[in-house]
Amino acid sequence: MSKRLRLETRSFGAETGVPEVAELSAWIAGHRGKPLDLTRFRILQSLAPQLEHAIDIPCAGGKYLRDRIITSLTGITGGKATGDIFADTGLLAEDASAVAGERRGTWCALPAPHLLLLSDHYYHDADEWASALAVTYRAILRAMRDAGVTGHVLICDRAEDRELAALAGPKVFFFLPAPDREDLSSLMEYQRNIAIGNRKLDLVFDLADEYTLRKLFIIDPDPAAIELSLSRLDPDRVNAAGYCTVDCGNYWKGLAASAEYERSSK
């Protein structure tokens, strides 16, 4: 006899597109009296279908917040550091407050520092430049948490040791959509919770012999991936997770459905 069970679901962000003018106008009309702009619209739109489909740990935002971060920085000219960098966190804190107003316990996704694509024309030292970026990011993350978001997902295209060493922690999760073995090894050195797609589960379990694996987030899980994961880990250490890049309403609905599984109740 089997029981139908459900994994906890988690979001690592959503890359919402630029809306049509009519859609944006209608949304603004329904939110009169609140400070709004296109970026905040995209942030809240990334969150709405997650709440509609009852994702347990929602996460607003995505890589498109790069422009929001860069415009908050002083000491940057044309994508280049030309002086000491400093963050004016006002708009980002307001974004965080708007997210928290939709649902307590929500996280926010931002691009990792290397995805800002900034270059150093001021510090002239790789360690000093990395340190300056890390200090700036810590100020941004702290201001947003103070404004109400629970934590941050930093979306990456590679695992940067300097960034991981400076920023990884209980409230900061580094997420690589398509990591290779080297990336995973670097991630597992600094964080005990790992997100991975179905096809690379064996790689994670292989590395778990070398590093501590506390919790596994399966991106877009299928039944075989869930079965394999539950053969290695207790159910409370396995989550169904997602990162939406297209058609997010249907995407989060599908993720919620994929989190259900059957298990023998012997």
Domain boundaries, the chain: 2-264
d(CA 171, CA 142): 10
Confidence (pLDDT) at 3: 83
Confidence (pLDDT) at 247: 87
First to last CA, the chain: 7
Q: For 63-74, what is each residue's pLDDT tens digit?
A: 999 999 999 999
Q: Sorting pLDDT into bands at 50, 70 and 90, what band is 262?
A: confident
Confidence (pLDDT) at 266: 58
Confidence (pLDDT) at 20: 67
Question: 2-264 — its CATH code?
Answer: 3.20.20.210
The pTM (predicted TM-score) of the whole model is 0.93
Confidence (pLDDT) at 9: 98
What is the mean pLDDT of the segment spanning 102-121? 97
d(CA 66, CA 261): 37
State the SS3 of 64-122. HHHHHHHHCEEEEECCEEEEEEEECCHHHHHHHHHHHHHCCCCEEEEECHHHHCCEECC
d(CA 135, CA 38): 28
Check if the beta carbon of residue 81 is closer than 8 Å to that of residue 131.
no
Confidence (pLDDT) at 94: 97
d(CA 252, CA 56): 11
**In this model, does residue 34 exceed pLDDT 80?**
no
Handedness of CA 193, 238, 155, 21 (dihedral sign): negative
